[in-house]
Amino acid sequence: MEISQQQNESAGQSASGRSNRKTPLIIAGPCSAETPEQVMQAASALALDHRVDYFRAGVWKPRTTPDSFQGIGTPALQWLQEVREKTGLKVTTEVGSPKHVEEALKAGIDMLWIGARTVSNPFVIQEIADALRGSDVPVLVKNPLSPDIDLWEGAINRMVRAGIKEVGAIHRGFFWWGKSIMRNQPFWHIPLELRRRMPGLLLINDPSHIAGKRDLISQLAHRAMEHDFSGLMVEVHPEPDNAWSDAAQQLTPRNFLSLMDELFGIAPESSHTTLLNELRAEVDSMDEMLVWALSVRMELAGKIAEVKKEAGLNSLQTGRWQEVLENVKTLGARSGMDPVFVEKVYNYIHRQSLNLQNGVLKSNDAQTKKEPNFVL
């Protein structure tokens, strides 16, 4: 199946056109190509489902540490060729350098994707775009690690300007420094804004790299479909627990097929319950972030109290408090929130912060100024 698209070259800009596909584009396969047997086992299972369009397997792996499995490299391209011959599935792999592009094109790989770490580097992206010039291979560009929409859009435009006719985007979530139940934060508004900027963009969701663990994949995939994504890229391994990379997030072929049925089969009776659970899981994830942000804020308030103690200042600094309040009310209004609600929430936070600071100030000697404790 083609990822056919119309190209939009308007205003000298280049936005890839969206396929008018009725069915979503499905890309599935293991994180990494490990052995010829593992690759063929995964592919044979996936080929049983006519909804799978492309078989994925990483040949060159962008791993965080040099001690991890770095991928088999060029020899594994032949395993992908065998998959295509024996199963009829099209094949796709990640490229991260002009050398990878050269090898993958030589091996006739049907589609390429560019990984999140690579997209963060415009020099490399330009080199890859130059290496792809003149080929007609479709290219999917993952979002960069940081939630930087311009960098993502820029990488896509570099591909289109190099004359690549079929360019799409993969949303794989964004690195988040706080605690979260997910490996990467979805920040759904970013891919949706990208699609707004590039009307008709072929936009694929990769729930595996967002979730980081298999039990969250289904809810993310459902969300992506609700947001009208053009398709999914899902990691599937014959024995996920023994995978050489991303073991926690890969699905067995059986679980993947159930996911496909759940998403595209007959709607289950309890679709409301499913949706409710998905939305609640997202709320839980936001609550984790909120509580984490509050705890960091309180820690900072404690440090500020130490400075105030040294300087002989009161915990309550009215001018500063007004400034904080105005700032959050403006931010709230910008996000469509009622300023009265924002003010109430911040009054609570501020009181707690003052209580904490008063504790620090009181712990000093007799010179310390006393502040009454607020009761929440």
Q: Where on the chain is the footprint of ligand PEP (CB under 6 A)?
A: 31, 58, 62, 94, 115-117, 142, 172, 209
Of the candidates 114, 164, 122, 101, the one whose C-alpha atom is nearest the C-alpha of residue 143 is: 114
166-171-175 Cα angle (round to 5): 140
Q: Which residue is nearest to ligand PEP (CB)?
A: 115
For tokens 């770095």, what's the residue? 70
Closer CB to ligand PEP, 62 or 134, in the complex:
62
HSE of 261, CA atoms in CB hemisphere, 13 A: 7
Residue 246 sits in the site that holds Mn ion (CB under 5 A) = yes
Closer CB to Mn ion, 31 or 354, in the complex:
31
Closer CB to ligand PEP, 142 or 329, in the complex:
142
Closer CB to ligand PEP, 72 or 116, in the complex:
116
> Rounded to whole angstroms, how far apart are CA atoms 68 and 204?
27
| Residue 19 CB burial class (10 angstroms; 0-12, 13-18, ≥19) | buried
Write out the two tokens for 200.
């008709």
Nearest distance from C-beta of residue 9 to Mn ion, angstroms: 33
Closer CB to ligand PEP, 242 or 295, in the complex:
242
Stretch near Mn ion under the rule CB under 5 A, chosen from 111-119, 141-149, 243-251, 293-301: 243-251
Q: Residue 142's binding partner, choosing from ligand PEP, Mn ion, none, with beta-carbon cut-off 5 to 8 A by kind? A: ligand PEP
Nearest distance from C-beta of residue 376 to Mn ion, angstroms: 45
Q: Residue 116's binding partner, choosing from Mn ion, ligand PEP, none, with beta-carbon cut-off 5 to 8 A by kind? A: ligand PEP
Nearest distance from C-beta of residue 3 to Mn ion, angstroms: 21
Q: Residue 115's binding partner, choosing from ligand PEP, Mn ion, none, with beta-carbon cut-off 5 to 8 A by kind? A: ligand PEP
Stretch near Mn ion under the rule CB under 5 A, chosen from 124-132, 223-231, 242-250, 265-273: 242-250
Stretch near Mn ion under the rule CB under 5 A, chosen from 29-37, 285-293, 311-319, 343-351: 29-37
Nearest distance from C-beta of residue 233 to Mn ion, angstroms: 10
Q: Residue 214's binding partner, choosing from ligand PEP, Mn ion, none, with beta-carbon cut-off 5 to 8 A by kind? A: none
Between the alpha carbon of residue 175 and those of residues 104, 157, 245, 293, 312, the distances in Å are: 28, 23, 18, 16, 41
> Rounded to whole angstroms, how far apart are CA atoms 250 and 207?
10
3-state secondary structure 198-228: CCCCEEEECHHHHHCCHHHHHHHHHHHHHCC
Of the candidates 50, 53, 95, 72, the one whose C-alpha atom is nearest the C-alpha of residue 233 is: 53
Which residues sit opposite 113 in a β-bridge?
A: 94, 140
Contacts of 243 (CB under 8 A, 6+ apart): 30, 31, 32, 34, 237, 250
Of the candidates 350, 360, 365, the one whose C-alpha atom is nearest the C-alpha of residue 308 is: 360
Q: Residue 84's binding partner, choosing from Mn ion, ligand PEP, none, with beta-carbon cut-off 5 to 8 A by kind? A: none
Closer CB to Mn ion, 20 or 64, in the complex:
64
Of the candidates 177, 248, 237, the one whose C-alpha atom is nearest the C-alpha of residue 209 is: 248
Q: Residue 62's binding partner, choosing from ligand PEP, Mn ion, none, with beta-carbon cut-off 5 to 8 A by kind? A: ligand PEP
Closer CB to Mn ion, 160 or 243, in the complex:
243
Closer CB to ligand PEP, 172 or 222, in the complex:
172
Would you tell me which residues interact with Mn ion (CB under 5 A)?
Answer: 31, 246
